[in-house]
Structure 1
Amino acid sequence: MANDPAFPPLPTATLPEAAPRRPGPGWAETILIIAAYFALQFGVGGALGYLSQTLARLFPDAVPGQGDRLVIVVILTLASAAAITLWLVVQRWGALLRSGGPEGFGFTPPTGGQMLFGAVMGIIAPLVGGLLTQLLAGDHTVSQSVSDLADSAHVGMRVALLPVAVLVGPLVEEVLFRGALLALLRTRFGDGWAIAVSSVFFGVIHLPDLGGLWYAVPNLILVGAFCAWLRVQSRSIWPAFACHAANNALATMVWFT
């Protein structure tokens, strides 16, 4: 017909909308989940310790010695606290776990070179940090409660404690400190301040395990700085985990010497 258009109207192209940026961890939830991890250790450890003492009183000839019982309590405590904490992290921030950006946790595949470099840094950190600790400590001795605990246990129990000290502990602490806390600080203050603040917090929060020996904290701050830098540079949490695990593995060597 005369009034009909010569050509049918062209379909309107619809551009895909940009995916909304997922918000990173917030202040309250990050502090609460870190506090929950250490509170779980205190609560579960206290309950298992009381159970261990009760069994020793009731069955003195049937239970292991005190040193071995304490190792069992530590293994069960750390494993339980880690499992519950990681479950909470997955429930709250599951969508951010595979993000390598500032707001994410960095569960992305690393390269072999990044893992090797992280492990090497995990060996260098305690060597350099140990010299700094000796300089600050002077004639004072420095030990951690887990090392004192291992010294009182049989070799078999020390071997059983290794996976917890070298793998489980570093994994959950990396998720908390180089995952939630670092993401919180990076999205608000930038990488430099995030690395510095998270490293200091990581060192200071281990003071109870060090018996309040402040001169051992700089060593842990250095380890935390190495791990945070690796997380930022690699966009993956795994090189930081390799650094942390190698550091702990080097520390456990004294259990067998």
Structure 2
Amino acid sequence: MPLRDRRSVAVFLALAFTLAWLVALPLWFGDGLATPWFPLVAVAVMTTPAIAALVVVFFVERPQHKARTLGLWPLTPARRMFGYAALGIVVPIALVLVALPVGALFGVYPADFVNFSAFRQLLDARAAGADELPISPGALVALQLATLPLAAFVNLLPALGEELGWRGWLLPKLMPLGALPAILISGVVWGAWHAPLILLGYNYPAAAGWLGMTSMIVMCTLVGAVFGWLRLRSGSVWPAALAHAAFNGAAGTFLLFAQAGAPIDTTQATILGWSGWIVPLVLVVVLVATGQFADAGALPRPGPTRTSDAQQ
């Protein structure tokens, strides 16, 4: 990797990690995840990789084609781009959902796929004192599943805040190291970047900090490989952003199928835990074995930097 690119990566990582900690810092001096405005802080943290990428592109590298460098443009060939965008919606939802029966099979996810007892309990708590629900919990579960693809569009902008940095800018910048090293490094970095929230108990509330961080890094590396495949094959950041948005939207579905009153250890169950990593791992192995990461020809070449920068 040229010295110029190493400098850009260092600036990007320093900005992305520092900004994430600065934005999350009020949680550490306040009530942590119990803070009422935690959702706003979490969304703000998600913007920090995009801010870091924009700073590097506009003030450090200054390429001629900035949108192309970030993977925002062009959206051609349209058939390929929209095909991978559709996969970006379907594949993450499938990975999140299939993790649940796999976890149940290994005995680490307390499932209730018939009566939806945990979901019923949640509905009863919310409807306390109100009229009976007009439709059954089973019908509500089906409705929730049917609307999951819409989450890819509802969550798109926050997800783009991350993907513009991780897969939009960083992954192509690491490609001179080789596709697989680039995928692995970007995945590990993505997982480690979550530290300000994970160490407060986000995603892994019952786990020690080191275990939560280790689990998050492994999960992000596997899932990030799928997002990276979408980025490389489509030549665009949009399929990866849709995948990230769909993934986030589907993440809470484990509550629909759980047993009432049974604790869920997310280091073992759901897509966050080891049983949920089995299917993504198999998928990534298949992608590697079939050469899906070997040909990055779909990835647009970044535009040349300004002459004065290229000579530095």
Which category of TM-score, normalised to the shorter sequence, fits these structures? 0.5 to 0.7
User: Shift of residue 232 of structure 1?
Assistant: 0.8
Name the structure 2 match of 1:40: 19
The one-letter amino acid paired with 2:228 is: A
% identical equivalent positions:
28
Name the structure 2 match of 1:248: 248
Task: Show the 5 A alignment for 1:56-205.
Answer: 67-75=35-43, 77-78=44-45, 81=48, 84-85=51-52, 87-92=54-59, 93=62, 95-99=64-68, 104-107=69-72, 108-109=74-75, 110=78, 111-127=81-97, 166-186=155-175, 188-205=176-193
The one-letter amino acid paired with 1:230 is: L
Residues 73 and 210 of structure 1: is their aligned pair in 2 closer, same or farther, counting only changes over 3 Å?
closer
User: Shift of residue 189 of structure 1?
Assistant: 1.9
Aligned residues: 197
| Whole-Å separation in 1 of the counterparts to 2:105 and 2:15 | 34
Determine whether 1:230 maps to 2:230. yes
Describe the superposition over 1:86-110 as per-residue Cα deviations: whole angstroms up to 9, x where unpaired. Answer: 54144144534443xxxx3322215
Residues 205 and 32 of structure 1: is their aligned pair in 2 closer, same or farther, counting only changes over 3 Å?
same
| Residues 221-230 or 124-133, more deviating | 124-133
Q: Is the 8 A contact 1:182 1:198 kept in 2?
A: yes
| Whole-Å separation in 2 of the counterparts to 1:136 and 1:94 | 50
Q: Is the 8 A contact 2:171 2:228 kept in 1?
A: yes
Higher RCO (CA < 8 A, seq sep 6+): 2
| Whole-Å separation in 1 of the counterparts to 2:108 and 2:254 | 21
The one-letter amino acid paired with 1:167 is: L
TM-score, normalization: structure 1? 0.58
TM-score, normalization: structure 2? 0.49
User: Shift of residue 242 of structure 1?
Assistant: 1.1
| Whole-Å separation in 1 of the counterparts to 2:103 and 2:14 | 27
| Whole-Å separation in 1 of the counterparts to 2:37 and 2:50 | 21
User: Shift of residue 68 of structure 1?
Assistant: 2.4
Task: Show the 5 A alignment for 1:210-229.
Answer: 210-211=198-199, 212=209, 213=212, 214-229=214-229
In the alignment, structure 1 segments of 5+ residues that lack a partner are 1-22, 54-65, 140-154, 156-161
Residues 228 and 130 of structure 1: is their aligned pair in 2 closer, same or farther, counting only changes over 3 Å?
farther
The one-letter amino acid paired with 1:120 is: V
User: Shift of residue 184 of structure 1?
Assistant: 1.9
Name the structure 2 match of 1:18: none
In the alignment, structure 2 segments of 5+ residues that lack a partner are 110-125, 127-150, 200-208, 258-312
| Residues 127-136 or 224-233, more deviating | 127-136
The one-letter amino acid paired with 2:179 is: D
Q: Is the 8 A contact 1:174 1:237 kept in 2?
A: yes
Structure number with greater Rg is 1
